[in-house]
Protein backbone atom coordinates (compact mmCIF):
# COMPACT_ATOMS: atom_id res chain seq x y z
CA UNK A 1 0.00 0.00 0.00
CA UNK A 2 1.01 3.58 -0.52
CA UNK A 3 1.24 6.02 2.40
CA UNK A 4 -1.70 8.41 2.64
CA UNK A 5 0.54 11.32 1.57
CA UNK A 6 1.05 9.54 -1.75
CA UNK A 7 -2.66 8.83 -2.35
CA UNK A 8 -5.15 11.13 -4.07
CA UNK A 9 -7.61 12.56 -1.52
CA UNK A 10 -11.23 13.59 -2.19
CA UNK A 11 -10.49 17.21 -3.08
CA UNK A 12 -7.73 16.30 -5.51
CA UNK A 13 -9.78 13.47 -7.03
CA UNK A 14 -12.33 15.96 -8.35
CA UNK A 15 -9.52 17.98 -9.92
CA UNK A 16 -8.07 14.81 -11.44
CA UNK A 17 -11.40 13.89 -13.01
CA UNK A 18 -11.95 17.40 -14.42
CA UNK A 19 -8.51 18.16 -15.81
CA UNK A 20 -6.86 14.78 -16.28
CA UNK A 21 -5.84 13.18 -19.57
CA UNK A 22 -6.83 9.54 -20.12
CA UNK A 23 -4.74 6.61 -21.32
CA UNK A 24 -6.15 3.12 -21.85
CA UNK A 25 -5.07 -0.50 -21.98
CA UNK A 26 -7.06 -3.73 -22.02
CA UNK A 27 -7.17 -4.03 -18.23
CA UNK A 28 -6.71 -0.48 -16.92
CA UNK A 29 -7.48 3.14 -17.64
CA UNK A 30 -5.08 5.78 -16.34
CA UNK A 31 -6.00 9.40 -15.76
CA UNK A 32 -3.15 11.85 -15.14
CA UNK A 33 -3.22 15.52 -14.20
CA UNK A 34 -0.64 18.00 -12.88
CA UNK A 35 -0.80 18.45 -9.12
CA UNK A 36 -1.71 21.95 -7.87
CA UNK A 37 1.15 21.98 -5.34
CA UNK A 38 3.73 20.37 -7.69
CA UNK A 39 5.46 18.64 -4.81
CA UNK A 40 5.05 14.87 -4.73
CA UNK A 41 3.04 12.70 -7.06
CA UNK A 42 -0.13 11.07 -5.76
CA UNK A 43 -1.94 8.02 -7.12
CA UNK A 44 -5.07 6.06 -6.34
CA UNK A 45 -6.63 2.84 -7.59
CA UNK A 46 -10.36 2.75 -8.32
CA UNK A 47 -12.42 -0.42 -8.69
CA UNK A 48 -16.06 0.25 -9.52
CA UNK A 49 -18.94 -1.89 -8.32
CA UNK A 50 -19.59 -2.61 -11.97
CA UNK A 51 -16.27 -4.51 -12.06
CA UNK A 52 -16.43 -6.26 -8.66
CA UNK A 53 -19.66 -6.47 -6.69
CA UNK A 54 -18.20 -7.39 -3.30
CA UNK A 55 -16.16 -4.89 -1.30
CA UNK A 56 -13.66 -7.57 -0.27
CA UNK A 57 -12.91 -8.35 -3.92
CA UNK A 58 -12.57 -4.65 -4.76
CA UNK A 59 -10.12 -4.22 -1.87
CA UNK A 60 -8.18 -7.32 -2.93
CA UNK A 61 -7.86 -5.93 -6.46
CA UNK A 62 -6.56 -2.62 -5.07
CA UNK A 63 -4.06 -4.47 -2.87
CA UNK A 64 -2.70 -6.22 -5.96
CA UNK A 65 -2.15 -2.96 -7.88
CA UNK A 66 -0.71 -0.68 -5.16
CA UNK A 67 2.57 -2.67 -4.77
CA UNK A 68 3.10 -2.36 -8.53
CA UNK A 69 2.80 1.43 -8.27
CA UNK A 70 5.10 1.40 -5.25
CA UNK A 71 7.70 -0.54 -7.25
CA UNK A 72 7.65 2.09 -9.99
CA UNK A 73 7.55 5.03 -7.55
CA UNK A 74 11.22 6.03 -7.89
CA UNK A 75 10.80 6.43 -11.66
CA UNK A 76 7.57 8.47 -11.50
CA UNK A 77 7.94 12.18 -12.21
CA UNK A 78 7.04 14.48 -9.27
CA UNK A 79 4.03 16.79 -9.24
CA UNK A 80 1.40 14.51 -10.78
CA UNK A 81 -2.01 13.21 -9.78
CA UNK A 82 -2.93 9.80 -11.13
CA UNK A 83 -5.87 7.44 -10.97
CA UNK A 84 -5.79 3.84 -12.17
CA UNK A 85 -9.26 2.52 -12.97
CA UNK A 86 -9.83 -1.20 -13.41
CA UNK A 87 -11.88 -2.08 -16.48
CA UNK A 88 -12.37 -5.75 -15.70
CA UNK A 89 -11.69 -8.36 -13.06
CA UNK A 90 -8.01 -8.96 -12.51
CA UNK A 91 -8.23 -12.23 -10.59
CA UNK A 92 -7.26 -14.24 -13.68
CA UNK A 93 -4.16 -12.16 -14.45
CA UNK A 94 -0.74 -12.84 -12.96
CA UNK A 95 1.12 -10.13 -11.10
CA UNK A 96 3.70 -10.01 -13.90
CA UNK A 97 1.02 -9.26 -16.52
CA UNK A 98 -0.48 -6.54 -14.30
CA UNK A 99 2.96 -5.01 -13.73
CA UNK A 100 3.67 -4.88 -17.47
CA UNK A 101 0.28 -3.28 -18.16
CA UNK A 102 0.82 -0.58 -15.53
CA UNK A 103 4.38 0.03 -16.76
CA UNK A 104 3.18 0.39 -20.36
CA UNK A 105 0.44 2.81 -19.30
CA UNK A 106 2.92 4.91 -17.34
CA UNK A 107 5.26 5.02 -20.34
CA UNK A 108 2.39 5.90 -22.69
CA UNK A 109 1.40 8.75 -20.35
CA UNK A 110 5.01 9.93 -20.12
CA UNK A 111 5.20 9.80 -16.35
CA UNK A 112 8.06 7.29 -16.18
Across-strand partners of 33? 81
- 38 falls in which pLDDT band (50, 70, 90)? confident
- What does the DSSP assignment read for 49-112? TTT-SSHHHHHHHHHHHHHHHHHHGGGSPSSEEEEEEE-S--TTS-HHHHHHHHHHHHHHHT--
Domains and CATH numbers, the chain: 4-109 (3.30.230.10)
Per residue in 52-108, pLDDT tens?
999 999 999 999 999 999 999 999 999 999 999 999 999 899 999 999 999 999 999
What's the number of CA atoms in the CB half-sphere (13 Å) around residue 56? 0
Q: What is the pLDDT of residue 55?
A: 96
Is 0.85 surpassed by the pTM of this model? yes
Amino acid sequence: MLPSKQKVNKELFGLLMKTGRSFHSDIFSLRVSPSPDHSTSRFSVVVQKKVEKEATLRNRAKRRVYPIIKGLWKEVKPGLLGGIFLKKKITTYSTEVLRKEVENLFKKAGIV
